[in-house]
């Protein structure tokens, strides 16, 4: 672990010297169905320059070629450390000494096969930071949630923050910029070790990391609680009436015991809509109807479960899946507000859902089984 951290720090230093974080404007997730939204990717590349690594695009190669013209060195590093492409040793030698390369090989983070070299660490640029993915999750939701937290905390100072289901530690590490004390936990020890590594390589330390099955090992009360818990339809068991939302439900049920008066909690989660009822909204109403909380559910999109279409939408009868950021404020009068998705976005989402239903009923099969 120590030599991994040493090697990682060396790599991160090289990435910083070569402005690796510039590469975060490249969309990488290939999806032809999102073609109508392509102008947004182009506008981002040219003007907004936000993190687009997990955005869908019909033409990832086009953006990469364009980027390579202007930033050839950054793109080489992006190929090596984000796309994890196979490269020749000379390519790695452009950035690292022979001694470093041998140390990477000894440390098993660089593998050689038939004269080709491939790093097996994925380094994800986000804003001015770089995260080692390790075996943790890092996706579009991680970025969306991190952006939301940054926007909310900008200019504020929070006392005690708790980040649950921390994964790579992204939300905890961002919150450290604005909080006096941060505690972060995850059920997986491996994720915790990686989150510690990430806090060190991004110089945002003094975070208390611990393993915990949700709130089991957590004590005390906090001013801010953030969580990107696991969600999604993960069970084929017909008795599982939570449709993979059990961790989110457990969190909603226990949140009040861990939040200081005047405090705020933010959760990003999917819900499911079955027979016109939104299961997360119903759960919140059930738990908070007689508590002095102001709760706002902000929908980010509506989608369907494409890989498990038959199971989720046909067998379980779920019409669609909203993605929310939910803000719980422990003050004020009792209020639960479900915001509306902006009309244009709603039309786009439901057009896409209708297209997927149409595609399914035409018999254009995808993978229907849980993998």
Ligand X SMILES: C[S@@+](CC[C@H](N)C(=O)[O-])C[C@H]1O[C@@H](n2cnc3c(N)ncnc32)[C@H](O)[C@@H]1O
C-alpha distances in angstroms, 114 versus 99, 105, 148? 20, 14, 45
Longest dimension (CA), the chain: 67
Any idea which residue has 């393993």 for tokens?
Answer: 211
Q: Any contact of residue 145 with ligand X (CB under 6 A)?
A: yes
* Residue selected from 117, 119, 138, 328 as contacting ligand X according to rule CB under 6 A: 138
Q: Any contact of residue 247 with ligand X (CB under 6 A)?
A: yes
* Residue selected from 41, 57, 166, 193 as contacting ligand X according to rule CB under 6 A: 166
Strand, coil or helix: 260: strand
Q: Which is nearer to ligand X, 23 or 142 (CB)?
A: 142
Q: Any contact of residue 230 with ligand X (CB under 6 A)?
A: yes
Any idea which residue has 């649950």 for tokens?
Answer: 164
Q: Which is nearer to ligand X, 67 or 163 (CB)?
A: 163
> Closest approach of Cβ 285 to ligand X, in Å?
24
Any idea which residue has 């640029």 for tokens?
Answer: 125
For 241-246, which contacts have Cβ atoms below 8 Å and span 24 or more sequence positions? 242/279, 243/272, 243/274, 243/279, 243/312, 243/316, 243/318, 245/269, 245/270, 245/271, 245/272, 245/279, 245/280, 245/283
Q: Which is nearer to ligand X, 117 or 324 (CB)?
A: 324
Any idea which residue has 């390790």 for tokens?
Answer: 134
Q: Which is nearer to ligand X, 64 or 232 (CB)?
A: 232
CA separation for the pair 60, 25 (Å, rounded) = 11
Q: Any contact of residue 213 with ligand X (CB under 6 A)?
A: yes
Q: Which range in 35-43, 113-121, 181-189, 350-358 contacts ligand X by CB under 6 A?
A: 181-189
Q: Which range in 2-10, 81-89, 185-193, 363-371 contacts ligand X by CB under 6 A?
A: 185-193
Q: Any contact of residue 130 with ligand X (CB under 6 A)?
A: no
* Residue selected from 27, 167, 263, 322 as contacting ligand X according to rule CB under 6 A: 167
Residues that bind ligand X (CB under 6 A): 136-138, 142, 145, 165-168, 170-171, 186-188, 191, 213-214, 228-230, 247
């Amino acid at each position: 672990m120590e030599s991994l951290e040493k090697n990682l720090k060396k790599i991160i230093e090289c990435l910083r010297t070569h402005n690796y974080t510039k590469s975060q404007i490249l969309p990488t997730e290939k999806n032809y169905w999102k073609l109508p939204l392509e102008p947004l990717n182009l506008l981002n590349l040219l003007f907004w320059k936000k993190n687009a690594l997990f955005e869908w695009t019909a033409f990832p190669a086009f953006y990469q070629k364009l980027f390579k013209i202007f930033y050839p060195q950054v793109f080489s590093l992006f190929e090596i450390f984000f796309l994890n492409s196979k490269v020749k040793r000379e390519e790695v030698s452009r950035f690292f000494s022979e001694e470093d390369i041998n140390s990477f090989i000894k440390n098993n983070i660089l593998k050689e096969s038939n004269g080709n070299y491939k790093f097996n660490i994925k380094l994800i640029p986000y804003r001015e930071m770089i995260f080692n993915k390790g075996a943790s999750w890092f996706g579009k939701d991680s970025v969306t949630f991190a952006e939301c937290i940054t926007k909310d905390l900008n200019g504020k100072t929070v006392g005690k923050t708790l980040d649950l289901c921390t994964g790579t530690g992204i939300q905890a590490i961002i919150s450290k910029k604005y909080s006096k004390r941060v505690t972060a936990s995850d059920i997986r020890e491996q994720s915790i070790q990686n989150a510690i590594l990430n806090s060190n390589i991004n110089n945002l330390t003094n975070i208390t990391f611990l393993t915990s099955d949700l709130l089991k090992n957590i004590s005390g009360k906090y001013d801010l609680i953030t969580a990107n818990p696991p969600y999604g339809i993960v069970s084929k068991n017909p008795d599982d009436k939570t449709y993979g939302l059990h961790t989110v439900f457990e969190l909603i049920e226990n949140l009040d015991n861990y939040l200081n008066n005047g405090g705020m909690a933010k959760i990003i989660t999917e819900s499911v809509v079955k027979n016109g009822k939104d299961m997360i909204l119903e759960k919140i109403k059930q738990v908070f109807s007689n508590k002095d909380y102001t709760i706002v559910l902000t929908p980010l999109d509506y989608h369907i479960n494409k890989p498990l279409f038959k199971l989720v939408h046909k067998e379980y009868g779920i019409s669609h899946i909203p993605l929310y950021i939910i803000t719980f404020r422990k003050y004020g009068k009792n209020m639960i507000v479900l915001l509306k998705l902006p009309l244009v976005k709603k039309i786009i989402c439901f057009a896409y859902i209708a297209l997927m239903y149409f595609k399914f009923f035409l018999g254009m099969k995808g993978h229907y089984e849980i993998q």
